[in-house]
A and B are shown apart, each in its own frame.
Chain A
């Protein structure tokens, strides 16, 4: 068996999620390699070697500098043909999901996604995923090689156990249609203030709060509880609150002791970022809001009445 792991990098560091996948892959298959695609990749191969890669393929070329999926499909498809790999694994992200989907069609290779674990059973690679809104745990497999897998964010911890990889620079050849999309601008401002990933208590405001004018009320509650304000994608895309406060698939994955959500519907995009919170309390005026399906406490009511009352009670309690 041989395995290739796609390592996603941002600025000059490799994403924790893809290093976790590499660590796991190397534990299952000693013949595990990694591929890094971009421009100016100095120093990254060493990190991959540290996390268990035997060989690191570097596609270091100006034509693949932008984080776009289709040129990466070209690079990985060429590696699957030569030297050839039985498994190609990805840590899920916006970029990696688009690469994996494209690669599946390019190679007619089976793709399993949302994998929370990977195990060898009777010599076969088996993926474990939860499906249908986490109502069922499914064992998934592949009936042919190459096998493609997307691993759910946060499933595997990276482990820099040492070791060094052979580095191989590979030529990049991008197909005509793969090179048609181009990034013309990027807006990736860093946040000031405390990170929502570090807070024990997150007071989360969703689209259901109705207006950005409601934020002082949530800031007051968060401050009274000793927590931070977090948001959903709809709130951020509307320009109501900074991107750095967004929980979810395209935001931050958080695991606070207490998540308390107001006007949050609980769409899958949001759920994947907060479902591992220890205690989940949800307040929504819609009794059918999906978030109630995975909440410990579900309150149907008007947040405009509940938030000020709760702030007052918390302040009295904490003196």
Chain B
């Protein structure tokens, strides 16, 4: 079984995470790492491969050439190889462009399954899988809490606002897993060392057959016109507990606010 996992390098949270006021794009010059939600998708892919006894887990990504530094973490966990589409012309893509590029890169691999994590911590959209599934003309299931693959079809338990649905779909299919589905493994030292030697391919838009005019700012249909500071929540009172010592401070805080 061949499993494609879509992953993304994102800026680390913290004060350096910002939108560049000039380009109105997310500033990607600070510290970056692999989107934490993607680790659940990588973990699930590895478990499916291990359960099947054979197969291949291919990471698919779009981003700057340096994104491979972050993607290597998933290779360290056990993914077999990585394909990164990196092209100046793709910078500034919105959902339309990015889904085109990912779908094209996935298509070239002809996987049985395409996995996504729950969302990207920078864009916060949680819509990419649906757009990619549409372009690939594959069935899609999101918010997955449980997953089994057998006999050429997938059975997924989806959580919605109303409870759980069990959904069946034939392969190939696009699936987005919840961060509650599993506990991602840590890459072992051996895995980290081995990751550098695993195949890591960087492709251009032309390599995946996407027209530069359809992606990047040229292909985007959404705009950002203004950036403003958010309403302040006020300061956070920070406390280090020692053997339950904070209980009194919590009580005092709540009493002061007439909450107890």
Contact = CB atoms under 8 A, between A and B. Distances in A.
A100 B130 contact: yes
A302 interface: yes
B259 A110 contact: no
Interface in B153-194: 155, 158-170, 173, 178-181
Interface string B105-142: 00000000000001101101111111111110111111
B241 A299 contact: yes
A188 B162 contact: yes
A230 to B, nearest CB: 15
A146 to B, nearest CB: 9
A266 to B, nearest CB: 11
Given A70-B139, A142-B222, A180-B170, A104 B131 contact: yes
B180 to A, nearest CB: 4
B225 A299 contact: no
Interface stretch (B42-50, B52-60, B232-240): B232-240
Query: How would you classify the secondary structure of chain B's contact residues: helix, strand, loop or mixed?
Result: mixed
Interface residues of A, number: 98
A214 interface: no
B148 interface: no
A250 B135 contact: no
Q: Interface extent on B, as a size class?
A: 35 or more
B219 to A, nearest CB: 8
Contacts of A100: 127, 130
A160 interface: no
A187 B241 contact: no
B22 interface: no
B224 A317 contact: no
A131 interface: yes
Nearest to A177: B137
A137 B128 CA distance: 22
Interface stretch (B11-19, B63-71, B83-91, B199-207): B11-19
A110 B134 CA distance: 15
B150 interface: no
User: Of residues A136, A181, A236, which shows the largest number of chain B Cβ atoms within 10 Å of its Cβ?
Assistant: A181
Given A101-B129, A234-B180, A317 B255 contact: yes
Nearest to B222: A110
Contacts of B155: 184
A113 B138 CA distance: 23
A296 B222 contact: no
A138 B169 CA distance: 38
B121 A268 contact: yes
Nearest to B219: A108
A251 interface: yes
Interface stretch (A35-43, A164-172, A306-314): A306-314
Given A102-B133, A233-B180, A298-B236, A182 B221 contact: no
B61 interface: no
A265 B223 CA distance: 32
A298 B237 contact: yes
B80 to A, nearest CB: 28
A133 B122 CA distance: 8
Given A105-B132, A183-B165, A310 B250 contact: yes
B16 to A, nearest CB: 11
B241 A94 contact: no
A290 B37 CA distance: 14
Given A105-B135, A306-B241, A317 B251 contact: yes
Nearest to B130: A101
B246 A299 contact: yes
A93 to B, nearest CB: 6
B241 A305 contact: yes
A237 interface: yes
A136 B223 contact: no
Contacts of B119: 268-269
B164 A113 contact: no
Interface string A78-95: 000000000000000111
Given A132-B122, A183-B167, A233 B159 contact: yes
Report, nearest first, the 8 A-B pairs whose CB atoms are least far apart. Answer: A301-B241, A101-B130, A110-B221, A188-B163, A101-B127, A309-B247, A305-B244, A105-B134
Given A95-B160, A141-B225, 18 more contacts: A94-B142, A101-B130, A102-B133, A111-B94, A111-B95, A140-B224, A181-B139, A183-B166, A183-B167, A268-B121, A269-B118, A296-B236, A297-B239, A301-B239, A301-B241, A301-B244, A302-B241, A318-B260
16 contacts: A101-B127, A108-B96, A108-B221, A109-B221, A110-B96, A135-B230, A140-B223, A142-B222, A180-B170, A181-B168, A201-B259, A233-B178, A250-B143, A258-B257, A299-B241, A310-B251
